[in-house]
Structure 1
Amino acid sequence: MRGIAVQSGGMEESAAGPSAGLAGPGPLDVGAEAGAGLITEAVRLVVEHAKTVADGPVAPAEPGTDRIRDWLAAHDFAGPRPAGELLQEVTAALRRWGVHTTHPRYLGLFVPTPTWWGVAGELLAAGVNPQLAAYEHAPAAVEIERHVLRFLAARLGLPPAADGSFTTGGAEANLTAVVVALTRRFPAYPDDGLAALPGPPVLYASAESHLAWLKIAHTTGLGRRAVRLVPVDSAGRLDLVRLRELHDDDVAAGRVPFLLAGTAGTTAGGAVDPLPELARLAATWGLHFHVDAAWAGAVALSDRLRPLLDGVEHADSVTVDAHKWLSAPMGAGVFLTRHPDALADSFRVSTSYMPPDSDTTPDPYSTSVQWSRRFTGLKVFLALAAAGRDAFARQVERDTQLGTLLARRLTEDGWQRVNDTPLPVVCVADPQAEAGGPQHSAEWHAAVAAHVVRSGRAWVSRTRLNGRPAIRRCLTSHRTGPDDIEAVVAALSHARTATPYAAVQRDRAAPLP
């Protein structure tokens, strides 16, 4: 007998019973065969992109926002569309309207080309989809991540008892450092919060550090004024004299310092703060010493370059981003600490609906900011296991050599290097443009960088070091080679020729000599 649809409680229900019409797959289950076809098409598109990305521009000349919105307006989600066609449309949109960080001449932010092992790890993690909140749900996945964390901790010189977690990125890892530091320094903080502190808390970081510290201070309730951005020396490193002055002033004023952050590889200029000296000061003052090695932490895998991080082994906690110089797909941050008990005290929570705690391993949800957790560490594990540590060591060493080559070639072409670092971040300025004064220099260097980006021949950024405008390039892609270095030098030379020194002047009676 045909069931008759009736209305009950706002939902349609068949007269033949509540289970009528529920047989067979649900509306989102397309079956393994169709799923395999979809994944196969996605793989084809990704491989084709990887093969051809170097043949096209690094970035579009214009963002194309209006055209992107016009394209999206046709997708009102009112009904189904062929998935294969959608994949092709989206891939075309990403290729047409986006900066290609996998291009060998993308020399901008710390976003290297991901390894194929990392890409495969992302697919496997998404398909199996383990939930890493509770150990009981994913013991293999949790142990794989912990294995990678222990390996990285050992390379950094942290003790065997060190613990940590994979994070969405460096900002979350540094946020974790602040929470752990507050928990260690102020016993009442976990339960009573900032109100229980004996005075206004403050933390110290370089003025050239990643300014996620300001967002973290806002998020945690410290307030942005709690962040003491310490001036830097001529090499872009945190100035120890100014640090001591700020600390003494804060103590005299009744403020309570609790964290000192050193940066290993500043974003703008690649400087490494004096980590051994910072470690000693932190110990003397009773501060939690954190090292933000989000980018340069990768050199710990190289025996030859590891001395650049001397002092990190004394850190109470460390940030490393595998999606920066370990060539993992975005995002893959790492937080490590020598204080597992403080980490547990910072995030411990118990609920009736979570599985029972493991007898051997902490549940990840109770030792990190995150609760539900994806299997971030798999892409890092696969790459390290497949390639081996030595391959990563040789890669960072090669990138560093390419940085030296780029700096030399730009100097030969008349540019002046304005940053001091052995790491592959190269910042240069044009002396003749600087002769017009700071404002003119800023406008001219911005115009040259924009010209290079619009040309599609390379992607470079502008920055300012010690108030001095400059054009910045960093090398972190395993696809970048000497030919790309020459192409970048040529692109900058052409942009400089196409941007006369007088062209960006404003309100001047005569052109620059």
Structure 2
Amino acid sequence: MTLEKESLKLLLEGLEQLEIGFQGLPKVEHTANLDALRIVLLEVAERMQNNYPYHHPLYIGQIIKPPTEIARLAYTLSLWINPNNHALDGGKASSAMEKEAVAEIAKIFGWDLHLGHLSSGGTMANLEGLWIARTLVPNKKVVASNQSHYTHQRICSALGIPFQAIPCDSRARMDVSSLKKILEEEDIGTVIVNIGTTATGAVDPLPDILELQAEYGFRIHADAAYGGYFTLVDNLDAETRTIFDCLKEVDSIVVDPHKHGLQPYGCGCIIFKDPSIGKIYKRDASYTYFSSNELHLGEISFECSRPGASAVALWATQRLLPLTSSGKFATDLSKGRKAALLLFERIQKDSRFIVASPPELDIVVWAPKAKNASEISLRSKEIFRESALQNLHLAMAELPRELFADTAPEINWDVKYITCLRSCLIKPEHLDWIDRIWNILDLVTNKVLTSYKTNVSV
């Protein structure tokens, strides 16, 4: 598969159009040493070959999605200006584009009124959400499921907020009865709800948690960094659809455009339902915020200097691919989910494998069958290595016995966790590549399991 290059022809045209806006300035001579540039650029290209093929459909490992063509072009075009979206002085046009792009994201969750901005990624976005929570409900514990991203506990430690993990059910979702028990025992300030966990893509039962919120009065922060955009697709199961429809009721949402939003790293987003949250951020500085009475994004952002290029790329992407349930953006997203369902169905029907629960979004988790949990882990690692040799790149995840209680009760748990195989069917092309993916997986699995049989017989 060749890397897409045809769109590069538009970059020069875009630069010429950009230059028209500054033609009244005195001319500055600039020459580039193309020979020197070429040597270093080709060296960079050679060094970058030492990567997994993230752009290719046979890469189904981590949650890595290549930026769309318009995002690459718009991001690169903006670098000739290199705007900084901290203050309007450094990023006038790109700041306006950021506000418009974030408003469009907020709208998919049902929020017209909101306060939000882009960030360098989901970690910083979650940090801001929990910092605001600490300010509004000080000295109160934050809880999240034990399948939540590790960043939440790390952030709480950095912010000095007490944190506790809540057990999960067999579907890797927060166990509501366990949550209720701790709510009865302690004064909880914030509950983090996962809208797509990193390991399995599990979606926490938000409707049940909202009922508890009405009784106990905690804040709800939704970590939808990975799964947020799935609110646009038409092929979620009914229960998951209901959860997404309730997102408008939470207090804050994190979503990462650099995951399913087709953007380069790093581009996260934090949105608050209540715009008055801005007063918590408000700080004056003697050296900035002086060129306009309009909102400077640095006034509502934990980070200061931030790349305006991220906003330009996101705005351009959403201009070309609007965030509507009937558009190409949503259709492509639904293809990835359909591919995950098809792969899961084949794995589930195959007697060589055990599975966790069906995918709620586009992550599939499974493992080769064996008597003991430790042996399952060894076989998973072998399949992972052998698949890579066949150019099929998977991922792995360590998961507890609770996730297999319903689907594989016969396992002898000689260790607490098993290493599973994990795949993110994140690209729309994966739908057309399922047969090829399965054929390689089938071949590799036979090879690995045959070797185990041979070793046992010897």
The normalised TM-score by structure 1 is 0.74
Match of 2:75 in 1: 122
Answer yes or no: is the 8 Å Cα contact 1:457–1:487 preserved in 2.
Answer: no
Q: 1:180 aligns with which of 98, 107, 132?
A: 132
CA distance in 1: counterparts of 2:147 and 2:52, whole angstroms? 25
Post-superposition offset of 1:312:
0.9
The one of 230, 235, 238 equivalent to 2:166 is 230
Residue 418 in structure 1 maps to residue 370 in structure 2: no
Q: State which drifts further: 490-499 or 170-179.
A: 490-499
Find out whether 1:269 has 2:223 as its counterpart: no
**1:330 maps onto 2:265 in alignment:** yes
Question: Which AA in structure 1 matches 2:362?
Answer: P
Alpha-carbon displacement from aligned partner over 1:197-217 (angstroms, at most 9, x marks no partner): 4xxx31111111111112202
1:194 maps to which residue? none
In structure 2, the CA distance between the partners of 1:304 and 1:452, relative to structure 1 (3 Å rule), is: closer
Deviations, residues 388-433 of structure 1 (Å, cap 9, x unaligned): 33111101111111111212233344333213333111111222x2
CA distance in structure 1 between the partners assigned to 2:357 and 2:368 by the alignment: 13
Q: Secondary structure at the match of 1:499?
A: helix
State how far apart, in whole Å, the 1-side matches of 2:176 and 2:258 are. 31
Corresponding residue number in structure 2 for 1:221: 160
Which residue number corresponds to residue 342 of structure 1? 277
Structure 1 position 512, deviation (Å) = 8.5
* CA contact 2:115–2:277 (8 Å) conserved in 1: no
Tell me: CA distance 1:500–1:456, structure 2 relative to 1, closer, same or farther (3 Å): closer
1:303, distance to aligned residue in structure 2 (A): 5.5
**What residue is the counterpart of 2:45 in the other structure?**
91
Q: 2:91 aligns with which of 103, 128, 138?
A: 138
The C-alpha deviation readout for 1:42-90, integer Å capped at 9, x for no partner, is xxxxxxxxxxxxxxxxxxxxxxxxxxxxxxxxxxxxxxx8121111111
Deviation (angstroms), 1:337: 0.4
Does the 8 Å contact 1:163/1:337 carry over to 2?
Answer: yes
> Which residue in the other structure is 1:259 paired with?
190
Helix, strand or coil at the partner of 2:79: helix
Change (3 A) 1:308 1:485: farther
Distance (whole Å) between structure 1 residues aligned to residue 457 and residue 373 of structure 2:
14
CA distance in 2 between counterparts of 1:120 and 1:144 reads 16
List runs of 5+ in structure 2 lacking aligned partners: 1-27, 402-417
Measure how far apart 1:465 and its partner are: 3.2
Are residues 134 and 439 of structure 1, via their aligned partners in 2, closer, same or farther at CA, if it must alter by over 3 Å? same
Count of residue pairs brought into register by the alignment:
406
- Identify if the C-alpha distance between structure 1 residues 457 and 429 changes in structure 2 by more than 3 Å, giving closer, same or farther: same
Letter in 1 for 2:304: W
Aligned counterpart, 2:21: none
Q: Distance in 1 between matches of 2:232 and 2:171?
A: 25
Q: 1:371 aligns with which of 304, 312, 320?
A: 304
| Alignment match, 1:395 | 332
Mapped partners of 1:166, 1:479: distance in 2 = 28
Give the C-alpha shift of residue 359 in structure 1.
2.7
Which of these residues, 275, 287, 293, is aligned with residue 359 of structure 1? 293
On the 8 A contact 2:166/2:178 being kept in 1, the answer is: yes
Once the two structures are TM-superposed, the CA of residue 380 in structure 1 deviates from its matched residue by 1.4
Note if contact 1:234-1:466 (Cα within 8 Å) is conserved in structure 2. no
- Cα separation, 1, equivalents of 2:29 and 2:422: 49
Contact 1:125 1:374 in 2 (8 A): no
**1:114-513 aligned within 5 A:** 114-158=67-111, 160-186=112-138, 197=139, 201-222=140-161, 226-249=162-185, 251=186, 256-302=187-233, 305=236, 307=242, 309-345=244-280, 347-356=281-290, 358-361=292-295, 363-375=296-308, 376-389=310-323, 390-414=327-351, 415-431=353-369, 433=370, 435=371, 437-453=372-388, 455-467=389-401, 468-482=418-432, 484-500=433-449, 503=452, 511=456
**Residue identity matched to 2:440:** A
Tell me the SS of whatever aligns to 2:449.
Answer: coil
Counterpart pick for 2:61 among 108, 113, 117: 108
CA distance in 1: counterparts of 2:307 and 2:265, whole angstroms: 13
Query: CA 1:501 to 1:440, structure 2 compared with 1: closer, same or farther past 3 Å?
Result: farther
The structure with the larger Rg is 1
CA 1:162 to 1:121, structure 2 compared with 1: closer, same or farther past 3 Å?
Answer: same
Q: 1:370 to 1:421 in 2, by over 3 A?
A: same
Query: 1: distance between equivalents of 2:441 and 2:85?
Result: 47
Matched-pair identity in %:
23
Structure 2 distance, partners of 1:210, 1:234, is 18
Deviations 1:257-301 (A, max 9, x none): 211110011111111101122223234322221111111111123
- CA distance in structure 2 between the partners assigned to 1:320 and 1:446 by the alignment: 31
Secondary structure, counterpart of 1:295 in structure 2: coil
Evaluate the alpha carbon distance shift between residue 496 and residue 218 of structure 1 in structure 2; reply closer, same or farther with a 3 A threshold: same
| Paired letter, 2:32 | A
* Contact 2:233–2:333 (CA under 8 A) maintained in structure 1: yes
Deviates more, 1:467-476 or 1:407-416: 407-416
Alignment partners' CA distance in 1, 2:155 and 2:29: 44
Contact 2:368-2:379 within 8 A present in 1 as well: no
* Residue identity matched to 1:176: E
TM-score norm. by structure 2 comes to: 0.83
Q: CA deviation at 1:504?
A: 11
SS of the aligned residue for 1:260 comes to strand
Q: Contact conserved, 1:502 with 1:512, CA < 8 A, in 2? A: no
Equivalent position SS for 2:180: helix
Q: Letter of the aligned partner of 1:471 in structure 2?
A: L
- CA distance in 1 between partners of 2:30 and 2:285 (Å): 36
When structure 1 is superposed on structure 2, of 409-418 and 393-402 the one drifting more is 409-418
Please give the alpha-carbon distance, in whole angstroms, between the structure 1 residues aligned to 2:386 and 2:215: 50
Over the residues paired in the alignment, what is the CA RMSD in angstroms?
2.4
